[in-house]
Amino acid sequence: MFHREGQKIIIITFFAVVAIVLSAHFYIGIQWIRIAVQVAALILLILILQFFRNPRRLVTPNFDEILAPVDGKVVVIEEVEENEYFKGKRKQVSIFMSPLNVHVTRYAASGTVTYSKYHPGKYLVAWHPKSSTENERTTVVLHTPKFGEIGYRQIAGALARRIVNYAEEGEQVTQGQDAGFIKFGSRVDLLLPLDCDIAVKLGQKVVGAKTCIASIRKKDD
C-alpha cells in the first residue's frame, strides 16, 4: 500500500523509468552501459516506492498512552520552554526520520484538534537543535481526555521540502489515524505535559502507531 501523497510522483517515476529502460535498450550500443542505466532507473523506482509505502497499522485507541506519530529514532528527550502555543514548559520528545523510514504522520492520541498552523522557514538538517523553531514546520495541538493538550510539530529537514498536514481545528481525530506526510528526511517533535512518564530512551527506534512514547504517571500509593 502506498500513501496518496506519493501517487503522482510514483506514476511519473514509473513512466520515466519505462522510457529510460526502453531508450537504453534501443539506443545504447555498449552492453555494460545499457545495463547500468537500466538498473539505475529501476533502483530509483524501487526507492520511490519504498519511500511512499504506507503500511496498514491497526490501532485500538488507548487514552492512557501517547503513541509514536512516526517511524524513526528518538534523538531528543528534554524539558523545553514552548512559546508558540503553550507559553510554558513541556517535555519534548523528538523523532528523526531518515529517507528510508516510513514518512506517514499518524495521530499520537485521540482527541480534538485545537490548533493547527503552518510556518515557512529554513531547511537546516533535521537533527539541528534550532530546526524545531527555525525550519519550515507545522504545529498541531490536540485536546485529549487524559493528557489534556499535547502538541506535535512536523519539521522539514535538509531534503524534506514539502510538509503535508491534514489536521483542521475543531476536528475529532483518532489515535493512529493518518495525520499527514513529510516528503524525504525530516523530524517530528512531541510536546507533552510535564507530569507524564516518558517510555522511550535516546537512540531508541520507534514505530508509528505502535511504540508507546509516554503514559499517564501513576500516583504514589
CB 74 within 8 A of CB 208: no
Write down the pLDDT at residue 221. Answer: 43
> Is residue 186 among the annotated active site residues?
yes
User: CB within 8 A of 45, min separation 6: which ones?
Assistant: 13, 14, 17
Which residue, among 169, 158, 163, 168, has the nearest Cα to 181 in the 3D structure? Answer: 163
Catalytic residue among 131, 132, 186, 215: 186
CA distances from 160 to 52, 67, 156, 183, 185 (A): 13, 23, 5, 5, 5
Instruction: Specify whether the CB–CB gap between 72 and 96 falls below 8 A.
Output: yes
* pTM of the predicted model as reported, rounded to 2 decimal places: 0.84
Residue bearing cell 489515535: 175
The grid cell for 198 is 516518558
- AA identity, residue 58: L
Please tell me the chain's helix, strand, coil percentages from 3-state DSSP, rounded to the nearest 5: 20, 40, 40
pLDDT tens for the chain, residues 1 to 221: 887 887 888 999 999 999 999 999 999 989 999 999 999 999 999 988 888 888 888 899 999 999 999 999 999 999 999 999 999 999 999 999 887 888 899 999 999 999 999 988 765 655 555 656 667 889 999 999 999 999 999 988 655 557 889 999 999 999 999 999 887 668 899 999 999 999 999 999 999 999 999 998 766 54
